[in-house]
Amino acid sequence: MTGQPLLSVEGVSVELPTPRGQLLAVDKVDLEVAAGRTLGVVGESGCGKTMLSRAILQLLPKKAALSGRIMFDGQDMTRLSPEALRRLRGPSLAVVFQNPMTSLNPVLTIGTQLIETLQAHMGMAAAAAAKRGVELLAAVGIPAPEQRLRQYPHQLSGGMRQRVAIAIALSCEPKLLIADEPTTALDVTVQAQILDLLAREQQRRHMAMILITHDLGVVAGRTDEVAVMYAGRVVERAPTTTLFSHMRMPYTAALLAAIPKLDSPPHTALPAIAGRPPDPTRPLQGCSFAPRCSHADDRCQRAKPPLGAADHIGSQYACWHPLQPAAMARA
């Protein structure tokens, strides 16, 4: 990490009211992303990864209560006016969502949506914006971009729509791109192309990126650092290669073990994680993973382990009984 991080999330919590009581979606999360770096945020559904990204973007539901600080490029996002936020989103901070069909406006052409963004945020004239729009579509690998500008989202395939959404997100040269499950709705061959595209543009523009996904396979080859979330908290955080070589948190190891391996023979029983994540409206007193963890003891039930400071290999984990190298081989 070099100097001041571009984004620093400091003690951020998000609470949502539900009919069953307050739901703690994000629980005191700390994260940093430096310029030009990629952070992977991994977790299963309901772990709070999307709420965290909404908090960073200041796009939380109205009833959500946010606490903590989100410093982006020297400003606290939580204290900015709606007008200041609007100026920030686009030119500085952009997002690509999971479903490109719902993030694009179905009644406007691709061109209108792309050109509108350029005019609104970059102050471009219509002709210049149209020319830039063609360049952007070509850059994200869309053939015949001039014709595509005149088409509507429904006339494009899922992969092409996601390319358009990426072109719009990149159009204002953002400093940070948040990609929230950008390939989950796509086929595997198209997923590989979109991930390659994001990685290429991220490097070319020296842009910071947060890649949110449920798939450890997606973050493995394409991020600098990974934060693993469980039940609203970051439970392990490490440089990507360290995370995979020295997993300390039993949850991360169990998550990796549960993925079918390409090199194991058919009909190999998978080490499944028993049970399921805790009810977020009924927070546990101890470690949230304890009820499913094979290493858990009394202490884990009683006291919540804090996310420790980084150890000598840059790894942070929230666990009373972190895995040791020998145990890691078994996990």
Partner 1 sequence: MAAAGNGKLLAVENLVVEYPVGSKTVYAVSDVSLHVDRGETLGLVGESGCGKSTLGRAVLQLRRPTAGTVTFDGTDLTKLEGEALRRMRRRLQLIFQDPIASLNPRRRIGDIVAEPLVITGVTDRDERDLRVRAVLTAVGLDPDLTMGRLPHEFSGGQCQRICIARALILEPELVICDEPVSALDVSIRAQILNLLEDMKRRYGLTLLFIAHDLAVVKAVSDRIAVMYLGRLCEVAPTEQLFARPAHPYTALLLDAIPVPDPSVRPAVNVPIGEPPSPIAPPSGCRFRTRCPRADQRCADHVPALREISPGQLAACHHPLGVAN
Q: Which is nearer to partner 1, 119 or 241 (CB)?
A: 241
Site for partner 1 in 256-275 (CB under 8 A): 256, 258-262, 264-274
Q: What is the 3-state secondary structure (H, E, C) of the chain?
A: CCCCCCEEEEEEEEEEEECCEEEEEEEEEEEEECCCCEEEEECCCCCCHHHHHHHHHCCCCCCCEEEEEEEECCEEHHHCCHHHHHHHECCCEEEECCCHHHHCCCCCCHHHHHHHHHHHHHCCCHHHHHHHHHHHHHHCCCCCHHHHHCCCHHHCCHHHHHHHHHHHHHCCCCCEEEEECCCCCCCHHHHHHHHHHHHHHHHHHCCEEEEEECCHHHHHCCCCEEEEEECCEEEEEEEHHHHHHCCCCHHHHHHHHCCCCCCCCCCCCCCCCCCCCCCCCCCCCCCCCHHHCCCCCHHHHHCCCCCCCCCCCCCEECCCCCCCHHHHHHC
Q: What is the 3-state secondary structure (H, E, C) of 229-262?
A: EECCEEEEEEEHHHHHHCCCCHHHHHHHHCCCCC
Stretch that binds partner 1, among 66-74, 94-102, 204-212, 216-224 (CB under 8 A): 216-224
Minimum gap (Å) between residue 245 Cβ and partner 1 = 8
Minimum gap (Å) between residue 284 Cβ and partner 1 = 17
What tokens appear for 270 in the block? Answer: 């998978």
Minimum gap (Å) between residue 17 Cβ and partner 1 = 20
326 binds partner 1 per the rule CB under 8 A: no
Minimum gap (Å) between residue 304 Cβ and partner 1 = 20
Among 86, 276, 282, 299, binds partner 1 (CB under 8 A): 276
Minimum gap (Å) between residue 75 Cβ and partner 1 = 33
Minimum gap (Å) between residue 71 Cβ and partner 1 = 29
Q: Which is nearer to partner 1, 2 or 189 (CB)?
A: 189
Q: Which is nearer to partner 1, 46 or 133 (CB)?
A: 46
Minimum gap (Å) between residue 196 Cβ and partner 1 = 7
Q: Which is nearer to partner 1, 29 or 218 (CB)?
A: 218
Q: Which is nearer to partner 1, 173 or 196 (CB)?
A: 196
217 binds partner 1 per the rule CB under 8 A: yes
Stretch that binds partner 1, among 17-25, 251-259, 280-288, 311-319 (CB under 8 A): 251-259
Give the number of other Cβ atoms within 10 Å of residue 271's Cβ.
Answer: 14
Among 3, 19, 45, 127, binds partner 1 (CB under 8 A): 45
Site for partner 1 in 135-174 (CB under 8 A): 141, 157-160
Site for partner 1 in 284-313 (CB under 8 A): 292
Q: Which is nearer to partner 1, 70 or 142 (CB)?
A: 142
Residues that bind partner 1 (CB under 8 A): 44-45, 141, 157-160, 187-193, 195-196, 214-218, 220-222, 240-241, 244, 254-256, 258-262, 264-274, 276, 292
